[in-house]
Structures are given as C-alpha cells and as structure tokens.
Structure 1
Amino acid sequence: MSWQIMPTYDSLDEAHEEFEWELPDDYNPARDCLRKHDPDRTALRYERVDGSVSTHTYGDLNDKSDRLAAALGELGIEPGDRVAVVVPQKPANPVTHFANWKLGAVSVPLTVLFGPESLEYRLEDSGASVVVVDPTVRETIDEIRDDCPDLDHVIELGEDVADDAHAFEDLVSAHESGFESYESTPETSTAIMYTSGSTGPPKGVLHSHALWLGRAAAAYNYFDQGLDGATLWTPADWAWGAALGGTLLAGLHHGATVVAWPREGFDPEAVFDFLDRHDVSHSFMPPTALRMLMSVDDPADRYDLSLEALAAAGEPLTPEILEWAAESFNDVPVNEFYGQTELNLVVGNSSTWFPAQPESMGQPFPGYEVRVVDPADPDPTEPLPRGEAGELAIRADDRRVFFDEYWKLPAKTAAKQTGDGWFLTGDIVRRDDDGYLWFVSRADDVILTSGYRVGPMEVEGVLLGHSAVEQAGVVGIPDETRGEAIKAFVQPATAGGGSADLRAELKALVCDQLAAYEYPREIEFVDSLPTTTTGKIQRRELREHSE
C-alpha cells in the first residue's frame, strides 16, 4: 500500500504541466502514515524535559493507536464525533490523532498554550465529546469543564491522574492491537482547526482526509524533494497546521523520522545542541525562531550539523536571514512557503526549482492556480495586471485538498469562495513578471506575531472583561524580532485611570485567559478610541498613530 502523492520533477514548469492530484478512492491517514512503512523503522524520537530519549517505531505508533481507538470506541465515540487533542510534542499527540481516524472520529488539535477562555470556546464550539490532555493543562480543564456540556470524558497523560479523568496509559494497556480501521475516503471529515479572525470569534475550519495528502505534497516541495531518510523537527506546536500537517504528518507520510521535543521557551544555544545531537536534516522554523538563532556565533564551527533544508512560514523572510543561513550553514536553503488553515500550503520556494527572492512568498506549487484580484470586487473573475497589488485568490485542481466548511458558519463558508471555485485569502499581494508573489498586507486586521496569527477581537474581549476598562482596540505594530508585536489602546473606565499597575494587570489577564503569545507587549492608555459611525473601532487609525 503506497500513496506517493508528489513525484519528483526537475523543474517547476514540468511539475505544473505534468502533476495531477490522484487521490485514492479509499484513504485513511492512519493507514497511510503507519501501515505502509516497515514496522521496525523509527518514526518518532522523543526527548523528554529531563533529557532522556525514547524511540518509537512505525509499528509502535500503529499498535498504540489501535489500542486507543478500541478504548475510545468503548467510551462511546462514534464516527463523526469530535475528540480534542491538547498535547504538546509527545508521542501521545500523533497516537491520539491516528486513533481518532481509525475510529472515524474528527480530531480537534489545540495547543497547550491556550488559557481557559481560548480552550473553553474551542471545546464548546466544536462539541468535543472527549479531550486528551497533558498534565500541564489539567487545572484549566477543571476550571472550564462545567461550561462544556458536550464534554463527556477527559483522558489525561501521566501517572497522577485526577479521579474524574481516565489515565491515557491505562486505556491503551487495557486493549488489544489489531483494530479494524474505519473505511474512509479522502472526503471523510478529519479535523476541525481554529483560525483567528478579525471580525468575530475564532472560526472552526472543517477539513477532510485529503488535507493531509495536500500538506505532504507541499512539504515534499519546500523540503527540496529530500524527505527519504530525513530527520525532521520543528519548534512549532503540533496544534498548528504547518507543524502538524506540514511537518509531523508529512514526515510520517514520507517515511521520515520526526523528533519530538516539548519545551518552554526558545533557547538558541540549546536548539543548536539539539539539532546536533539528533542529526536533524530538515526543519520548519518560523522566521522569528531563525532570527533568534542568529544570535549564536559560528554555529557551523561549534556544532556538527546535518541540516540539508530549512523551511519557514508565518511572516516574510528578510534578506538578513537568508544571508546568515547561507554563510552559517554552507548554503543550506531556507525555503519560505505560504498557506492558510483553510487552503493548505499552496505557494512557496524550492531551491531545486528556482532561487529564492528575499521576502518573496515564492511561486504556486503544482496542483494550484493563483490570481491577484481586485479586493473590492465581491465576485472577481479577472486577474489584475502583473505588479499591481490585490487580493490573492487560489484554486486547487482538486477541491478536496481545501477545507470543507467553516464549522456551523455557512454564510462565511460561501463568502470565502467565488462562484467559479476561486478561494479568497484576505491577503494583499503582488505578482511580478517572473511569477514570484510578494506579500503586501492583510486585507483584515489579523496580526502576525512570531509566526502566530492573532485575531484582535479575541484580545479585545479579554481586556474589556476588566472592570477598569471602558474600551479597547488591538493592532499589530512592527517588531524586529517577531515581525509584529501586539499593541493595545485602552480607554480606562474612569478619567486618568491608566496606571502602571493596570497595565501589568491587563497583560497578565490576557496571558492567563488566552495564550502567552497573544498578550499586548505595549499598552497605551487613551481618552477615547476612533470609531466609525456605527461604533466599530477604526484599527487602521490606531496603526497609523503607532507609526
């Protein structure tokens, strides 16, 4: 059984001319990623916080996910039910996803960085029946569980498990392997992944199994068609699409070894030591992480590195990063790529095909068409002239590799696409005469910080929950390290009510309720906020005020 979704091509022109999506009639990502490979081959190498390392073969992951699938079935989980996964880079993360898909359940990947408000919203909105959690988020689950009426079961990792939770290892050990997987197809629902928005709460993005084949194809390209025998690692949380689909699952699809390393913070020296010890050959790193690595002197001389290709996404790569990488790693390519939670990883660079242009998104990958269209046109049909900025529209040769729908939001689903099958990204770009795409700005107010997309309304909502806040507006401002930093303009409830203590309280409140990367690094107290005639905050004016 083999699904090699992306053949090797000598040139991008050849790839665009010859490649066609050939999705199998029957497809289950658990069978694809686990059962087609040699069961004794190393799939996952896991370095714990204490430095100890364990290896897990493809057979190990298949066996454990079989057992967990049987346990979930015994708990009453049926095809289509949602099972949330709040686990960092640990073997239990892919084991749970594979168990879900063997059972026909829908995964809801969530990060351990979420605070109670972020986690509660996503669990309640998705209607998750089960949540598998790391011990680090156990207290958060206790705090919100009563507000998630569909949540019947909590499964917890570790040994000291609460009385009202199931122990993950006990469930696994109590069942046998040899689970007969659900007969699924590329159209079978696979996951709900949440994306931040600027005009309301985060939206759940429902995908089918075809998603993972699309991401595996993209990874093959931005990792320079070199994943056979590769060792992959990313510092990004496996809850995020590019890390989960474009690194972890793509690596397992191609038979690579993926290294797991859960940790708090990003220590550049420790990262180089880790890359050395594990012979990492391919890595996806957000540009923020690459900029932090630049603080280490002479890494190629001090560490025995095996790097062959780096990939980056989330914010534009600056020329300095590419120059540093070329000098520090003996011309190891850094291939920037672009995608969305909804629309897969569709544009990028591959040094085997064409040279990267600093700060360019790259060119369309095989299997996709792109247009730059007038963002003011509600149903654009004609591309703008080359060099003119407009909204990026994308069409897949096979619709199934894109999202199915926004969860419970049919109107927003319809607004994402045109009548003739083009999907609107909300990103303003331009395309030059050589076909390279260049990011200009977001059409909405989403903030790109350290590779994360943050919706300002979610942050504003938490700030407004403080009794001393009358109104709040949140924007992104330029930041040399993070690309953008989050800044909040806060109107106190009483005149002159702004203080250093309130500023510290508000930062801590957002950290506690949302995620550490979502807190405003700057807070400016103002007498009033600019609004439209209908009372909406004019964030553009706030950004201009910060320039």
Structure 2
Amino acid sequence: MHAKQCTTLSDTGWAAFSSGSTGSPRIILRSEASWSSSFAAVTELMQLQSTDAVYLPAPLSSSLSLFSVAHARAVGAAIVLPNSHGFDPADLAHATVVHGTPHALGTIVESLENGQTPHRMRLAFVGGAHLDIALRRRAEAEGVRVVSYYGAAELSFVAVDTDGLGYLAFPGVEVRVNSGTADAGSGDEGPADAGPGDAGTLTPGELWVRSPYLASGYLTSSYLGSNGALRHAPGGWASVGDLVEVDSTHRLHFRGRLDGAILTGSATVVPEDVELALRSIDGIEDAVVLGIPNASVGALVAVLIETTPGGAMPTARSLRTHARSRLIPSHLPRRWYRTDHLPRTLSGKPDRDAVRRAIDNGEVTRLE
C-alpha cells in the first residue's frame, strides 16, 4: 500500500487493527494524543508503577496490546509477552498486572486455581468482551483485583467498572444516549439530549460519546473499503452503534450493537442479552447467539454453546427447560448447537463470522 492512497495521515501517530469479531479487521488511525491523554486515568485505575510488569496475552497487532505497550513504556513498567502462541503458566512468573480479554483472564484464573502456578499477579485490567461476575469473583479469590472496562478500538475507553457493580463513564468521557433503538438513523443527527438526565428509565438507546480519546477514522485506499462502524456528529460526538441502558445510579448496561439485533416475528432480540442469560446455566462455558434466516418469521434465534470440558452432553430439551426460567419466549433459542471450543479471534473474542460459517457448513453438533 502506498501512503498517497490513504485518506488522512497528517496527525496520525498510531494505526491499529480492530478485533475483526464481526467481520474483517479494519485499520484504525488515531493521533498520539488520543491515547496518551488517557494514560493518567489508566495509571490511576491500575495503580501502575515503574516496578510493575504488564503481561499482554493478546497479539501485539491488537489495539488493546498496542495501547498497553505505549502506556507501560510511558510509565516505565516492563512488558511481559507470551513464551508461545498459547498460554503458558510460566508467563506469570514475573508479571504483576495483566491486560487482556475475559477469555484470557479465565485461562489465567484456571491456572492459578490449580495451586501449581507461582505468580505475583495483583491486578487484571480486562476489556474486549463481557466479563461475567463469577469470573471476577474467582480472580478476586486468588488475590487478583479486577478492573473491567468497555471500549472500542475507534472510541478507546468509554466506561469502567472497578467493583463489579456496573459501568460508569470513564474519566474524561461524556456520554449521551439516543432513546428509541430500532432505528439508528443516518448518523448525521448525532446524540439526542438524553443520557444521564434520563437515568432510571432503562430505555435502550444508541450510545454517543465525546472525549479526547476518539480515533480519527479508518485507513482507506483502493484496496481497503472505508465502511466501518464509526460515525462522527457535530459537537465532537461519535458512535459505533452500541446499544445501552442507563439505570438510576447512572451505570451503563451494554446490550450489544444496533446492527447485530435479530428481528424474529415482531420481536427484536439483542444477542448479548441472550448470551448473558445462557452463560448462567451449569455446563455452558460460553455462548454466541445469532439469527438464522427464516421465511416465516424473518430469523430464528440460534445459539452455539461451548460446553464445560468433561461434562455430560446436554440435550436441547434440557437446555430449553433451563432457558425458559431466564428468558422471555421471543428470546428463547430455537436451534441449539454445541462445540468444545468456540471459534475466537487472535485477541480471544468469539469470532461471530466463524461461528456462522461453522453452523452453515455443518461443522458443529446440532442438539436435538
């Protein structure tokens, strides 16, 4: 690729890949200040010092790891990289902090729980996907404090949860929520005058943010498309189409992306809501929910579950019984599939496109 083909390089300090969890990764451009301006807040949240060593299990091509390299070097902390492609308990020998996804934290906690892994780990800084409260408590039981955050490669940090009670706006971030989630609009109208003032309604809406941490946009050329989730609006606001609810304590509850909702019959089903409920069923380690086209209702709610290693093989009937106590009828999966290991991106997020291909190609077991 030639530099002259790019749309903007004038103030670009960093170029990082999006996760690719819902499609092909995109190259995101941002200024040096869009990251460095958050260093002080992140340092405070992590209580990071020059004597710390930060373990980065995700590939260095990911924005999560690339940010951590820049941040750790600014503080003077050491970087610990994996010894191999997969997790090795020996990686933890010198690390005091880990910055990674919930999947990476789960692998680390499992290793700590067996009592055979010497470590000095004091804190996990976790982002990239939903963190189950049970995993947070398991980490804390092993002496690892957990700070989780929500962010997007295009927006950087948006919200943070330091105690497991829910997400609050990240320091330096303003949030607004458009009421009415069914139509994301053209993106030109920007955020409505909702948000914290409407807290307590639990009305879902599209999240817009304003902060010094926003990316400039995407790398575009004759070889790369410019389509991406990031939209800018007047006044410095930006959105990637996240669906959120705001409760009476001003905490944000993330409900997925507007463009990922499943329309089935007269209902709109947000996959993340169903996935959260299903993960609470014994024997289900993780779940990815998607819509399968259907001529009668538009789409059928389907799910691919990752089952607990060594556990009994579940049946669709038993899973439906458990699911009925957790979900309203319109949100119940109509088709159930299982696998030993969900397809994941290099950073550890479930790869939704790969899940769809695996189901379409008959590569996973359908439960009857």
Q: What is the TM-score normalised by the length of structure 2?
A: 0.63
3-state SS of 1:288 partner = helix
The question of 1:356 aligning with 2:161 is answered no
Aligned counterpart in structure 1 of residue 251 of structure 2, from 408, 412, 436: 436
Change (3 A) 1:421 1:402: same
Aligned equivalent of 1:237 = 59
Matches within 5 A, 1:72-471: 81=3, 188-195=11-18, 202-223=25-46, 225-245=47-67, 247-266=68-87, 270-271=88-89, 273-275=90-92, 277-278=93-94, 280-296=95-111, 298-299=113-114, 301-329=115-143, 332-350=144-162, 355-357=163-165, 360=166, 362-374=167-179, 375=181, 376=183, 378-384=189-195, 385-386=198-199, 387-396=202-211, 398=212, 401-408=213-220, 416-445=231-260
Shift of the alpha carbon at 1:250? Answer: 0.8
1:523 partner letter: I
- C-alpha contact (below 8 Å) 1:373/1:382 kept by paired residues: yes
Instruction: Return the alpha-carbon distance in structure 1 between the equivalents of residues 82 and 124 of structure 2.
Output: 18
Deviation at 1:317, TM superposition (A): 1.2
After superposition, the C-alpha distances for 1:416-464 in whole angstroms (9 at most, x for unaligned) are 1222221113111112222221111211239xxxxxxxxxxxxxxxxxx
Gap change, CA 1:233 and 1:295, over 3 Å in 2: closer
Q: Kindly provide the amino acid, as one letter, of the partner of residue 77 in structure 2.
A: A
How far is 1:392 from its partner?
1.3
Q: Is the 8 A contact 2:83 2:91 kept in 1?
A: no
3-state secondary structure, aligned to 2:241: strand
Instruction: Compute the displacement of 1:260 (Å).
Output: 1.9
Aligned pair in 2 of structure 1 residues 519, 415: CA closer, same or farther (>3 Å)? closer
Inter-partner Cα distance in structure 2 for 1:328 and 1:317: 17
> Residue 240 of structure 2 aligns to a residue in which SS?
strand
Partner of 2:233, secondary structure, is coil
Q: Deviations over 1:65-107 (max 9, x none)?
A: xxxxxxxxxxxx9xx949xxxxxxxxxxxxxxxxxxxxxxxxx
Structure 1 pair 189–438 and aligned structure 2 pair: CA distance change class (3 A) = same
CA shift, 1:126, in A, is: 6.2
Picking from 510, 519, 524, the partner of 2:354 is: 519
8 Å CA contact 2:204, 2:245 repeated in 1 = yes
Q: Distance in 1 between matches of 2:107 and 2:29?
A: 34
Contact 1:204 1:406 in 2 (8 A): yes
Identity %: 22
SS in 2 for 1:523: helix
CA 1:233/1:199 → structure 2, altered by over 3 Å: closer, same or farther? closer
Gaps of 5+ in 2: 262-270, 295-343
Alignment partners' CA distance in 2, 1:403 and 1:436: 24
- Pairwise CA RMSD of aligned residues? 4.1
Post-superposition CA distance 1:504-530 (Å, at most 9, x none) = xxxxxx99xxx995633742469xxxx
Cα deviation, residue 415, structure 1: 7.0
Counterparts of 2:164 and 2:38 in 1: how far apart (Å)?
Answer: 21
Using a 3 Å threshold, how does the CA distance of structure 1 residues 217 and 433 change in structure 2: closer, same or farther?
same
Give secondary structure in 2 for the equivalent of 1:428: strand
Q: Secondary structure at the match of 1:252?
A: helix
Q: Which of structures 1 and 2 has the bigger CA Rg? A: 1
**2: CA distance between counterparts of 1:415 and 1:265?**
32
- Does structure 1 retain, via aligned residues, the 8 Å contact 2:81–2:91? no
Offset of residue 205 of structure 1: 2.1
Amino acid at match of 1:216: F
Determine helix, strand or coil for the equivalent of 2:234.
coil
Partner of 1:144: none
Moved more, 214-223 or 429-438: 214-223
| CA 1:433–1:221: 2 relative to 1, 3 Å | farther
Looking at structure 2, the residues matched to 274 and 193 of structure 1 have their Cα atoms a distance apart, in angstroms, of 25
Q: So what's the TM-score if we normalise by structure 1?
A: 0.44
Deviations 1:140-172 (CA, angstroms, capped at 9, x unpaired): xxxxxxxxxxxxxxxxxxxxxxxxxxxxxxxxx
Q: Distance in 2 between matches of 1:381 and 1:325?
A: 39
Q: Deviations over 1:451-481 (max 9, x none)?
A: xxxxxxxxxxxxxxxxxxxxxxxx9994857
- Indicate conservation of the 8 Å contact 2:177/2:192, yes or no: no
What is the CA–CA distance in structure 1 between the aligned matches of 2:25 and 2:125, rounded to whole Å?
Answer: 27
Q: Distance in 2 between matches of 1:328 and 1:307?
A: 9
How many correspondences in the alignment?
280
Q: Which amino acid aligns with 2:140?
A: A
Q: Is contact 1:288-1:482 (8 Å) kept?
A: no
Query: Is the alpha carbon distance of 1:340 and 1:193 closer, same or farther for their aligned partners in structure 2, counting shifts above 3 Å?
Result: same
CA contact (8 A) 2:21 2:350 kept: no
| Matched-pair contact (CA < 8 Å) for 2:126–2:148 | yes
CA gap 1:415/1:326 in 2 versus in 1, 3 angstroms: closer
Go from structure 1 to structure 2 and tell me whether the alpha carbon gap of 1:221 and 1:240 turns closer, same or farther (over 3 Å shift): farther
Describe the SS at the equivalent of 1:261. Answer: coil
Q: Distance in 2 between matches of 1:309 and 1:484?
A: 26
